[in-house]
Amino acid sequence: MKKILISLLFVPIISFAQFGDLKKLAESKIQKVTNLPKINTLPDISAGLKEALNNGITKQVSKLTAEDGFYKNELVKILLPEELQKVDKTLRSIGMSNLADQGLVVINRAAEDAVKEATPIFVDAVKNMNFTDAKSILMGNEKAATTYLETATSSALYDKFSPVVATSLSKVNADKIWSQLISKYNSIPLVKKVNPDLKDYVTKETMKGVFTMIAIEEKEIRVNLKSRTSSLLQSVFSMQDKKK
């Protein structure tokens, strides 16, 4: 009788031990199948988001630096502000369409040139970002990281970007052409004279275009598994997938 009782007492102990071994084996198999490193720490999430933003810069923003990168891209093409639309319309009405067309082209050319020179500014901005709320950004909407970057860096980026845009405006003769346009317009009798800050406008519109293109890549990484081209991106954004 004692032998039977002793045997019965050891049955659950052996079963729990076997269960533990089976659990470890199953976890090991799952890890091998998914082939993804575990991401449990804030720095890993932050690094994944930074990689996604850097991909946006290298893959998407670089397209803006080509000729017509702004001018023939309807997502980012710089149109004239209301004040300059009056100039454009009036000059066309008096037979100066060619000069008006040239004015629109050159501000987009200045943006294309400026992005080429200023890309390192955006790279540094991403590198120096401190994602204090990385997980909520990861679990946010399809452009949450881009929005965070825009909010956190726009002021500092503007200060760095503005002189680059000023140089680019001069380089492509946009400042001279628009000086001509505005002088012609202001010489017309009875019109309200204009003196727009072209550098400020082009700077803001160029930055807007850059963030638009970064957002495109972020969305692609969030929704398209094939765009997650590194194990880090796969691991970090798989956490986002689980919330769906």
Query: For residues 153 and 214, what is the distance between their CA atoms, to the nearest angstrom?
Result: 14
User: Quick one: tokens of 46?
Assistant: 């932050």
Whole-angstrom distance, CA of residue 221 vs CA of residue 158 = 27
pLDDT of residue 128: 78
pLDDT in the model for residue 36: 44
Token pair 């007492």 is at which residue?
Answer: 9
Distance CA 25, CA 22 (A): 5
Percent of the chain with pLDDT strictly greater than 70: 82
Residue 79 confidence (pLDDT) above 70: yes
For the cut 80, the answer to whether the pLDDT of residue 29 exceeds it is no
pLDDT digits (tens, 9 = 90+) for 139-167: 889 999 999 888 888 888 899 889 999 99
Structure tokens at 108: 């987009």
- 105-125 mean pLDDT: 90
Do 214 and 56 form a contact (C-beta atoms < 8 A)? yes
Model pLDDT for residues 30-76, shown as the tens digit of each residue: 444 344 445 455 558 889 999 999 999 999 999 999 999 999 999 99
Pairwise CA distance, residues 188 & 186, whole Å: 5
